[in-house]
Amino acid sequence: MNRMLIVGNGFDLEHGLKTTYWDFREYLEENYLDFLIAFEKMYNFYPIDFGDPYVGKDAQRKREETVYNMLWEKFEELMGNPDIGSMINASECILDDLNLDGGNIGIEETMDDYWENEYGFIQQFPDYVKEWIEQISTDNVKARKKSLINDNECICLNFNYTDTLENVYHIEDVFHIHGSVCENSWVDPIMGHCTRRGIEEHKEAAYKAGEYFDEGEESIHKAIARFLEPINKDTDEIIKNNQSFFAQLSEIDSITIVGWSAGSVDIPYLKKISESVKSEAIWHVYWHDKKAEDMLKNAFDEVGIALEYRDFKSDTKFWD
């Protein structure tokens, strides 16, 4: 095989599937409202008090626009930055209230109970992502690109969690790099930020605090790391665990990208693919709008894919 197909969420959206981050939020709002409220509070978005006489009629709409623009539009890029300052301030207040002699020794259990009550909800995040994807059906979806039907002569890399390529186009061998609900995937869907460095920094801070027997400070940093862990997409580890997939790309000289805008979270994958395929491989890139085009061009510049190997076009030229 010398051809490769890379698809992202825009591929599913083109087929009428409700797979945006905002669709996920609406699923949480309908089914797990308490979780959604607690989660958005971590990013300084609070429910509206409609009992307040100063709250206008369009307050909910304005709030949703703000939440969308400042969190859910670029969800995976932003979710790695919760309001850690508030977490630290709240926990330090509790430490002060405990007012124990001899520093912060002997309070670890109390603090751990506090963290579990306040922030333990985040452990449900991966389960809710999987539930949401499982209820998205592709059974009635119609193919939008006839030449892809039964095309098993190319290597398919899918950044989506759905079975659109398998169920609609009957392509047998599809690699879901972020997991999937498909029968041939043994990895559950992975959604999250890629700021692994922050997790490691808090673990290191916890270790240092432990060396000085500062159980309060140690507990704070351990809890922050635990909060960030379930919403982390460890791209380096994912690439490491899938070396066999990238190893088979050495003969690829033609790559088609559709519905994938190569956001900052996914730059490591583009770099790894570029290193794995033939150096003179041609990249046929289909963008949906000007914003996606700019993101893709910036990603290609960052990775260092030469201009002479790029073929950028509007995705209107891709679909039938």
Sequence-ordered list of residues with C-beta below 8 angstroms from that of 89, at least 6 positions apart, any chain: none
pLDDT at 292: 95
Better pLDDT: 38 or 102: 38
Smallest Cα–Cα separation from 154: which of 270, 301, 51, 6? 6
Smallest Cα–Cα separation from 256: which of 177, 156, 161? 156
Q: Which of 84-88, 205-209, 253-257 has the lowest mean pLDDT?
A: 84-88
Sequence-ordered list of residues with C-beta below 8 angstroms from that of 252, at least 6 positions apart, any chain: 1, 2, 3, 4, 155, 276, 277, 278, 281
- Asked if residues 194 and 179 have their Cβ atoms less than 8 Å apart, the reply is no
Q: What is the pLDDT of residues 3-37, one digit of tens each?
A: 999 999 999 999 999 999 999 999 999 999 999 99
Sequence-ordered list of residues with C-beta below 8 angstroms from that of 226, at least 6 positions apart, any chain: 115, 119
What letter represents residue 3's amino acid? R
196-211 vs 215-228: helix axis angle to the nearest 10?
160
The predicted model gives 193-203 an average pLDDT of 86
pTM of the model: 0.90
Positive or negative: CA dihedral 147, 152, 158, 164 = positive
Tokens of 254: 């033609």
Q: How many CB atoms lie within 10 A of CB 243?
A: 10
Tokens of 82: 């919760």
CA distance 104 to 287: 55
Q: What is the pLDDT of residues 96-115, one digit of tens each?
A: 776 555 555 557 777 788 88
What single DSSP character describes residue 15?
T
- Asked if residues 177 and 242 have their Cβ atoms less than 8 Å apart, the reply is yes
Better pLDDT: 184 or 125: 125
The predicted model gives 81-87 an average pLDDT of 87
CA distance 209 to 105: 11
Smallest Cα–Cα separation from 319: which of 293, 287, 294, 296? 287
**Local confidence band at 141 (pLDDT 50, 70, 90 cut-offs):** very high
Q: Which of 192-201, 258-267, 293-302 has the lowest mean pLDDT?
A: 192-201
Residue 63 has pLDDT above 60, yes or no: yes
Residue 174 has pLDDT above 90, yes or no: yes
